[in-house]
Amino acid sequence: MNWQDNIPLIAILRGITPEETFAHVSALVEEGFTAVEIPLNSPDWRQSITDMVKTFGDKILVGAGTVLRTTEVEELAAIGSRLIVTPNTDRTVIRRAAEHGMTICAGCATATEAFTALEAGAHTLKIFPSSVFGPAYIKALKSVLPPQIPVFAVGGITPDNLADYLNAGCAGAGLGSDLYRAGQPAEQTREQARKFIRVYRDAVK
């Protein structure tokens, strides 16, 4: 499955607990999401990711965010995580994830960091924090990047501004607090998911 051929939006479930994961991820999958990231600063992330890999791993891309160390990559590979999202550009982390055949979305902010990530084996670039840089910056940065490399906007993306980043050339986006906040009910996650998917589909018509 090439998840980017479907809805190239990554659901970032920062702060979710193992008890909550099934309800929220079920809602996201039912609404059309095909990639879910559980950041490693979430409570008991090992259990959450393990459970979601077992339940949804054959349907969607399940993985981890805020991955900072190669030891974390090894542990994630062992439990079946297929997606690695980093907040920074760390060659050793990216290379180790590439060796395991994982999909890598590497955090970067400048052209130097972007090319460093690509050289190390990243498949996708995550411009973070996108709301600080804005769509014009990303459009300018994309002009020097290989055109086939997907660029994702992450950080401050809302249903109101998602289309601006897509129009600037982003392939998709990572969606955090405007999609999911720790403790919110699953139906709220579903409602926000619908808003984001509606905007995405309207923008790419």
Residue 5: pLDDT above 70?
no
Q: What is the mean pLDDT of residues 8-25?
A: 98
**Catalytically annotated residue among 37, 59, 99, 139:** 37
Rg (CA), the chain: 16
What is residue 1's predicted lDDT score, i.e. its pLDDT? 44
Residue 119: both structure tokens together: 């050289």
Q: What is the mean pLDDT of residues 179-183?
A: 97
Which residues, in sequence order, are CB contacts of 112 under 8 Å at separation 6+? none
Q: Annotated catalytic, 37?
A: yes
Q: What is the mean pLDDT of residues 38-54?
A: 98
Tell whether 158 is covered by a domain: yes
Tell whether 140 is covered by a domain: yes
Tell whether 4 is covered by a domain: no
Share of the chain above pLDDT 70, in %: 98
Interval 97-135: pLDDT, tens: 999 999 999 999 999 999 999 999 999 999 999 999 999
Residue 15: pLDDT above 60?
yes
Strand partners, 36: 11, 62
- Which range of residues forms the domain containing residue 88? 9-204
Q: Which residues of 66-103 are buried (b: 16+ CB within 10 A; e: fewer)?
A: bbeebebbebbbebebbbbbbbbbbeebbbbbbeeebb
Q: Annotated catalytic, 126?
A: yes
Task: Give the whole-angstrom CA distance, residue 42 versus residue 38.
Answer: 7
**Catalytically annotated residue among 20, 31, 126, 142:** 126
Task: Give the whole-angstrom CA distance, residue 98 versus residue 180.
Answer: 28
Tell whether 2 is covered by a domain: no
What is residue 65's predicted lDDT score, i.e. its pLDDT? 98
* C-alpha 32: how far from chain center: 15
Tell whether 1 is covered by a domain: no
Task: Give the whole-angstrom CA distance, residue 162 versus residue 157.
Answer: 6
What is residue 205's predicted lDDT score, i.e. its pLDDT? 86
Interval 62-79: pLDDT, tens: 999 999 999 999 999 999
CB 9 within 8 A of CB 33: yes
Task: Give the whole-angstrom CA distance, residue 151 versus residue 108.
Answer: 10
Interval 147-177: pLDDT, tens: 999 999 999 999 999 999 999 999 999 999 9
- Helix 91-99 and helix 70-78: axis angle, to 10°? 20
Task: Give the whole-angstrom CA distance, residue 7 versus residue 171.
Answer: 10
Total domain count, the chain = 1
What is residue 166's predicted lDDT score, i.e. its pLDDT? 97
Tell whether 156 is covered by a domain: yes
- Average pLDDT score over the chain: 96
Among 200, 106, 181, which residue's Cα sits nearest to residue 149?
106
Q: Indicate which CATH number applies to the domain containing 76.
A: 3.20.20.70
Residue 43: pLDDT above 90?
yes
DSSP state, residue 4 = G
What confidence tier does 6 reach under pLDDT thresholds 50, 70, 90? confident
